[in-house]
Structure 1
């Protein structure tokens, strides 16, 4: 049961917001996480798939069936919202069985299927309880069971964990993925939490200004962002303007950096990317000459428990560092292999390897 957007565009009346030229496929059993800044179009994508908005152009197919203009109740999609939307006066099994009641399934079968769905989310022993007696995380699991109980054609997750405490979110990430894998259902997961997207998604789609900027597996998206927009949005990043001075050498505000310049001509304007965790902090300058070693002054030092984030002034630039060491930092080493050169966003082209089709 797959989902496909075919060249879908939608513009909100009287405004410039919406989504444009969306060509995207979610394979059977795949969880695709969609991230992007506010107003990027990720929630609009979910509204279009669920049927609460109709595209101006293009088609939406679910399991090969054109649902572009079908009302929401005819699409057979399971939806889990940020709010649990449970009936407080009903027992858990009745909450979960409600979609089956709407479909006029006999009570005995409704109860059996609801109990099975609750067992899949680890709440079989809570079937007779009412929602107010449960924690937020347990209520969200009930909502997940309800979304899956009628064997939907696809699953939509609308920021389902954002209302929960951080520790609870971590546990439920694994729980949702486990249940989704077991159901083998195509899933669209809209979230503002990058860590959630990277940890849960088989692939992650980044949206900006209503368009898909890059769709890739989590590690590829993080390690090989297509342009500055993606690099700046996904995770933390050092991003410096640069000019290719010679083969293997780039001029930056820090000074001259040694790195791979393949694909860029001398004089090319580039953005230099180095992830903060790849920067190696040094207590002092090494005796032997090494490439990409810079002395600097710490102007911000943030202790985060297991991790420490520092900003080091180097030349006319700032080097952001993420490290576990607690000693004083006076210099940094930036390994050449940890540096990636990116083209300016305005000239970055979409590579077929980064399209919306599952690999």
Structure 2
């Protein structure tokens, strides 16, 4: 079963805010994570697929069928909301079985199916408890069971882990992935947590001002962003404006860099992009070579396994990440660590 957006646009009434000409597809068993700043359109895409709003242009397709006019309950999509939305007066099996009840399934059968689904998310022994007796992580498991119990055609996750503390989020994102893989179901995850998106998404889509900027594997987005916006938004980055000054060389605000300039003309404006972990602390050099810099530590953030250092150099700053504990005053930026991005 596939989920697909075909040139979809939608604008909220009386505003210029929405999504514009978005096309993407989620294959069977695939998890697509959508990230972007607040107001970028990621939640709007989920609402369009769920049927809570209708596209002004384009088509929403489920397994190749246009469902633009179908009501949400007719689309057979499981949805897990940020606040879980469990009924506080219903026992857990009744919460999970509610979707079966509205489909006319008898009490004995829906209890059996609900308990079975609760067991799949590790909550089978708590079937007769009330939601108020559970932790946030346990409620999230129940919400996931409820979304899957009726064998939906797709699963939509709307910031499902944002209310949990950091340690529990890691545990629950692994649980979501395990259950999603077991079900083999096309899944759309909307999240503001980049680590969450990169760790469990088969593909990740970046939205900006209502438009799809890039979609690809987590590695694609991290290592080969299409522009400076994606490079800056996904993870930590160094971005230095510059221009090509010869084969294998560019000049930037911090100095000369040696890198692959194939396909670039002399004088062409570029942005040099380098991930902080690719910057290498080194011994000071008496000879000024491209890609070698000395400076002073402007900021030194201890993050446990690594330090994130801002090294002030003439003309700007270099951000690096290192496990070294001693002083860092000189660095090297290897040519293969540099990717040239377009200026606009």
- When normalised by structure 1's length, the TM-score is 0.94
**Residue 141 (1) aligns with residue 141 (2):** yes
Task: Map 1:120-131; keep pairs closer than 5 Å.
Answer: 120-131=120-131
Are the equivalent residues in 1 in contact too, given 2:87–2:131 (CA < 8 A)? Answer: yes
Counterparts of residues 1-359 of structure 1 (less than 5 Å): 1-282=1-282, 284-286=283-285, 291-345=290-344
Structure 2 unaligned runs (5+)?
Answer: none
Distance 1:264 1:121 in 2: 53
User: Shift of the alpha carbon at 1:108?
Assistant: 1.5
Q: Number of aligned pairs?
A: 344
Query: How far does residue 315 in structure 1 lie from its aligned partner after superposition?
Result: 1.5
CA distance in 1, matches of 2:111, 2:60: 33
Q: How much does 1:263 deviate?
A: 2.0
Deviations 1:42-65 (CA, angstroms, capped at 9, x unpaired) = 011011111111110111011222
Structure 1 distance, partners of 2:28, 2:40, is 26
**Do the aligned partners of 2:255 and 2:290 also contact (CA within 8 Å) in 1?**
no
Q: CA deviation at 1:289?
A: 7.4
Q: For the residues of structure 2 that align with 1:290 and 1:342, how far apart are their CA atoms? A: 23
What's the offset of the Cα at 1:84? 1.4
CA distance in 2, matches of 1:291, 1:250: 9
- CA deviation string 1:187-221 (max 9, x = no partner): 11000111110001000000111110000000111
Q: Within 2, Cα distance between the matches of 1:69 and 1:326?
A: 60
Measured in 2, the distance between the counterparts of 1:285 and 1:125 equals: 63
Q: Does structure 1 retain, via aligned residues, the 8 Å contact 2:222–2:235?
A: yes
For residue 43 of structure 1, give the secondary structure of its aligned residue in structure 2: helix
Q: 1:321-354 deviations in whole A, cap 9, x for unaligned?
A: 1112111111111111111000123xxxxxxxxx
Q: Report the alpha carbon displacement of residue 306 of structure 1 after superposing the two structures with TM.
A: 2.2
Q: Give me the whole-angstrom Cα distance separating, in 2, the residues matched to 1:263 and 1:142.
A: 54
What stretches of structure 1 of length at least 5 have no aligned partner?
Answer: 346-359
Say if 2:294 and 2:313, in contact at 8 Å, map to a contact too: yes
Secondary structure, in 3 states, of the residue corresponding to 1:177? helix
Q: Distance in 1 between matches of 2:330 and 2:155?
A: 49
- Tell me the CA shift for residue 288 of structure 1: 7.8
* Cα shift at 1:290: 5.8
For the residue of structure 2 that corresponds to 1:271, the secondary structure is: strand
SS of 2:156's partner is: strand
1:305: how far off? 2.1
Q: Distance in 1 between matches of 2:134 and 2:42?
A: 30
Distance, in Å, in 1 between the alignment partners of 2:87 and 2:250 is 61
Contact 2:35 2:197 in 1 (8 A): yes
Q: Could you tell me how far apart the structure 2 residues matched to 1:265 and 1:108 are? A: 73
TM superposition shift of 1:107: 1.2
- Segments ≥4 residues shifted beyond 6 Å: none
